[in-house]
Structure 1
Amino acid sequence: MNVLLYGLVVMIWGTTWIAIVMQQGTVAITVSIFWRFLLAALAMLALLTLTRRLRQISLRDHLFCLLQGCCVFSFNFVCFYQAASFISSGLESVIFSMAVLFNAFNSLLFFRQRPHPNLLPAALLGIGGVIALFWHDLLATQLAPSLLYGIGLSALGTFGFSLGNMISTRHQRRGLETLSTNTYAMFYGALIMAIISLGRGDNFAPELTTRYLGALVYLAIFGSVIAFGAYFTLVGRIGAGPAAYSTLLFPLVALAMSTLFEGYRWHSNAVIGLAMILLGNAVMFRPPGRVPGFNIFRRTRQDKAPRSG
């Protein structure tokens, strides 16, 4: 099951970056995010109501879902959507791979959860591979202000995503059902974007084109309902650190899409970076003293921490 969840997250989120680019245009960013998570939340609500899996939660838990909505389903995507105007979708996904480091740091900070024994060498390989993938573009632009701005926005959005991971971990340690908390958090995220859009006087009408609407449906159903459900379930099963390591595989999918749709050009350093990322994945999920295999996704001892508030 963990292998399936991991694969879903990598393949879907590896392709959502190009869908975000397809939504660039006349519609305000906050409005696009509003429609994305409103549709996702409504789809989740309908599904959970029909299957009788929607769980009621306390007011305190709703406040944490509101905070999760701020971190994962609203402001972080404002950063990602704006960054898409300055850097390619593939390179944006490369920066998102920093989530593996943010999650390791935040897990230690908030839960006193020690990182996976293989995290440091794997992260060094993975981040080194990310830098190799990005190096040619850094040299080509000579660190232009627009590039730095795009990098900063993507990094800020990634940090917000990591904080949302910590809130999801908190939910699951309290025994809350992932799909229910995701539904509430998506509603709150959509509400926040609606309030901001109203305050700005934005037009809520979506762009009635196949490109925009197709991207919206894909982002709402696949990128939000399916991928976020799979990812946060994975966080509960194997821990936030190992789950976030999937972000180091996103660039492989995202850069392939960027090659097809944005004319991204592969260079020798990109091939080296790709090899380093793959090697980092092998190191990350290799149990100490054991032969790599599908049992690499079993929960590690430090992930089996007692539940706490």
Structure 2
Amino acid sequence: MNALLYLAVILIWGTTWFAIYLQQGVVAASVSIFYRFLLAAVLMMAVLLISGRLRKLALKDHLFCIAQGCCVFAFNFYCFYHAAAYISSGLESVIFSMSVLFNACNGWLWFRQKLSPTLLPASILGLAGIITLFWHDLSATQLAPGLLTGIGLSLLGTYGFSLGNMISMRHKRQGLDVVSTNTYAMGYGAAIMALVSLLQGASFAMQWTPAYLGSLVYLAVFGSVLGFGIYFTLVGRIGASQAAYSTLLFPLVALTVSTFYEAYQWHIQSVIGLALILLGNLVMFSPPGWLTLWRKAAPTPS
């Protein structure tokens, strides 16, 4: 059962990046995000009310849910939706997989959690991987400004997601129900995107095409409701650390989809860069003692 849940998370969240790509069009990014999380929040609220699992929160906790909605279900996706106009959805997912490094740094910054000795080697591998992955384009005679924009927006969105994780960690430490706080946060995220859309003068007119409507339903129902539901079920069954390994495989699924549907072009640098980033994440998740074991096993100069 755990294997099926694990596979479901990888396939669902590994393919949501292409669904975000399909959202590109006449509808403003803020409006698309609003519709996505409005639908997801309504569905989640209905399920919790029917099952009697919705938990009341204090005003202070609602304020933190607003901050969580801003970070996880609003502006980070706002960055990713705009980044999809400059780089492929597969490359976005690769950058997003480095959220574990941001989580480690933010955990130390906000909760004074001890930094793992694996952070430095993992960060070096991750940074080297990103540079190598994009080297073919970065080394071009005429560097496209859009490439740097896409990378920057993806990194900013990933950091926003990490900040949202810190708020979720705060909820857990306060003994709050994670599903309820996520539901409230989705609703607040949708409200924030509605406000941004109004301030921008964006039209709320729906794009009645199969690609847009299909991707919207997929992102709301599968990517948000089922994806988060299955993931947190998996966390409860095997633990957060083991469940987090699924982020190592998201880019593999996303880049495979991008290759077939976005004509993503592979280069030797792409393969090496992807391998370095995945290795960096794997090192970050490894037990701290592996460095000591490696040093003991390494040959010493005679």
TM range (shorter): 0.7 to 0.9
Residue in 2 aligned with 1:202? 202
Counterpart CA distance in 2 for 1:216 and 1:244 is 25
Following superposition, the deviation at residue 101 of structure 1 comes to 1.6
Q: Partner of 1:304 in structure 2?
A: none
- The 8 Å contact of residues 100 and 284 in structure 2, kept in 1 or not, is answered as no
Stretch moving more, 249-258 or 62-71: 249-258
Q: Separation in 1 of the partners of 2:179 and 2:254? A: 26
Report the Cα offset of residue 186 of structure 1: 0.4
1:112: Cα distance to partner? 1.1
1:264 is aligned with what amino acid? Y
1:108-257 equivalences under 5 Å are 108-140=108-140, 142-231=142-231, 246-257=246-257
| Partner in structure 1 of residue 299 of structure 2 | none
Q: Quote the Cα distance in structure 2 between the aligned partners of 1:167 and 1:234.
A: 20
CA separation in 1, counterparts of 2:85 and 2:22?
11
Give the letter aligned to residue 171 of structure 2: H
Q: Where in structure 2 are the equivalents of 1:239-278 lying within 5 Å? A: 246-278=246-278
**Taking structure 1 as reference, are residues 237 and 246 closer, same or farther at Cα in structure 2, changes over 3 Å only?**
same
Shift of 1:129: 3.5
CA-to-partner distance for each residue in 1:55-93, whole Å, 9 max, x for gaps? 111110000000001001111111111111111111122
- Structure 1 pair 195/278, CA: closer, same or farther in 2 (3 Å)? closer
User: How far 1:242 moved relative to its partner?
Assistant: 7.4
Asked if the contact 1:97–1:250 (Cα under 8 Å) also holds between the matched residues in 2, the reply is: yes
Mean Cα displacement is larger for which, 84-93 or 247-256?
247-256
Q: How far has the Cα of 1:134 moved from its partner?
A: 2.6
Per mean C-alpha deviation after superposition, the further-off stretch among 48-57 and 232-241 is 232-241
Task: Report the CA distance between 1:278 and its aligned residue.
Answer: 4.7
Amino acid at match of 2:99: A
**CA drift at 1:119:** 4.2
Compared CA separation, residues 228 and 124, structure 1 to 2 (3 A): farther
Partner of 2:26: 26
Instruction: Tell me the residue number matched to 2:38.
Output: 38
* Structure 1 residue 101 corresponds to structure 2 residue 101: yes
Q: Give the aligned length.
A: 290
CA distance in 2, matches of 1:32, 1:239: 33
**What is aligned with 1:80?**
80
Residue 180 of structure 1 deviates from its aligned partner by 0.5
Deviation at 1:104, TM superposition (A): 0.7
Determine the C-alpha separation between the residues in 2 that align with 1:175 and 1:238: 20
Percent of aligned pairs with the same residue?
Answer: 69
Q: Deviations over 1:239-260 (max 9, x none)?
A: 8887666444322111111101
Residues 212-259 of structure 1: per-residue CA shift (max 9 Å, x gap) = 011001111111112234556777898888766644432211111110
2:104, 2:87 → 1: CA distance? 26
Give CA deviations for 1:177-215 in whole Å, capped at 9, x if unaligned: 111000000000111111222233322122111100110
Once residues 8 and 141 of structure 1 are traced to their aligned partners in structure 2, the CA distance between those partners, rounded to angstroms, is 42
Which segment is superposed worse, 93-102 or 279-288? 279-288
Bigger CA drift: 61-70 or 147-156? 147-156
Moved more, 136-145 or 174-183: 136-145
Q: Which moved more, 1:37-46 or 1:244-253?
A: 244-253
Distance in 2 of aligned mates of 1:120 and 1:4: 33
SS in 1 for 2:139: helix
Bigger-Rg structure (1/2): 2
Which segments of 5 or more consecutive residues in structure 2 lack a partner in the other structure? 291-302
Partner of residue 54, structure 1 = 54
| TM-score normalized with structure 1 length | 0.83
Q: Distance in 1 between matches of 2:120 and 2:54?
A: 38
Paired letter, 1:204: F
Looking at structure 1, the residues matched to 255 and 201 of structure 2 have their Cα atoms a distance apart, in angstroms, of 36
Q: CA deviation at 1:286?
A: 4.2
- What is the rounded CA distance, in whole Å, between the counterparts of 1:242 and 1:128 in structure 2? 25
8 A contact 1:10–1:247 mirrored in 2:
yes
| 2:268 partner amino acid | S
